[in-house]
A and B are shown apart, each in its own frame.
Chain A
Amino acid sequence: MSKTVSTRDVGDIKVVELHGKITIGSGDLQMREGIHAALAAGARKILVDMKDVSTIDSSGVGELVGCYTTATHRGAKLKLMNLPPKISDVLTVTQLITVFDVFTDEKDAVASFA
């Protein structure tokens, strides 16, 4: 089974790449652990790359909201990029798309943290 979460650094930005299903009981928890690990390691600029996410459910959305809140409380910024259309739809219908800073281009996303 391939990893749900991988990370890479772009300067002082931690890019958290998600893969596959971010759904209850599996991907949702792995996503939370990945983002929390980045925060624990001192990351204050987190960019979640959702390019390879195939499905997200309400549990995954809830964890994403929780990670955003946790990051904010710790003085960090969490932003999203490369949302596939179906993932964008899921965030749009619950109006969460207006909560997150969402980017379609990594350069723009990286520049936004400056």
Chain B
Amino acid sequence: MRGTAAQPPVVLWLSSRYANIELAEALLGQICRERGLTAEAEHWIGMALREGLANAIRHGNRQDPRKRVLVTFTWDDTALTIEVGDEGEGFGPEEIVDPLAPENQMKTSGRGIFYMKTFMDEVAFSRGESGGTLLTLRKKLGATSTTKGAVAS
């Protein structure tokens, strides 16, 4: 699967059930292994994907199984990009809280986006073509991708 050109995307449509997170993570694992990423890198990218999917299912689609989550994986020699789109009402950056702030430290929620930003190189939110939120996660590949621990980065 190694090559210079971008690979065709791999696309998943998932109903809004938490159990489906496992399916997406399994597919990510396959892509990471074929791409030659370490188990360490796969773990942290997988965690970011889990957080993105959990947000799409819980906050975006309100766990309505009739609503779908679109997951798109694309990659080339430089980066792996994952897009997670939901069919919800959209999401405002003002909703993001700082989990490191003392007043938030003992809250039971609000850490998902922080983890995504910690473990990925780029995290962006935009409006999807048909409404909802489109999350883009990007992890740079290359010389450091197989050795760099996400936490250390």
Contacts and interface: CB of A to CB of B under 8 A. Distances in A.
A58 B115 contact: yes
A93 interface: yes
B108 interface: yes
A7 interface: no
A57 B47 CA distance: 7
Interface stretch (B74-82, B88-96, B99-107): B99-107
* Size category, B interface: 20 to 34
Contact of A58 (B51, B100, B151): B51
Nearest to B43: A86
A89 B21 CA distance: 22
Main secondary structure of the interface of A (DSSP, over half): helix
A70 B115 CA distance: 24
A93 B109 CA distance: 15
* Size category, A interface: 20 to 34
B125 interface: no
Given A24-B21, A25-B19, A58 B105 contact: no
Interface of B: 18-19, 21, 43, 46-47, 50-51, 54, 58, 99-100, 105-112, 114-115, 118, 149, 151
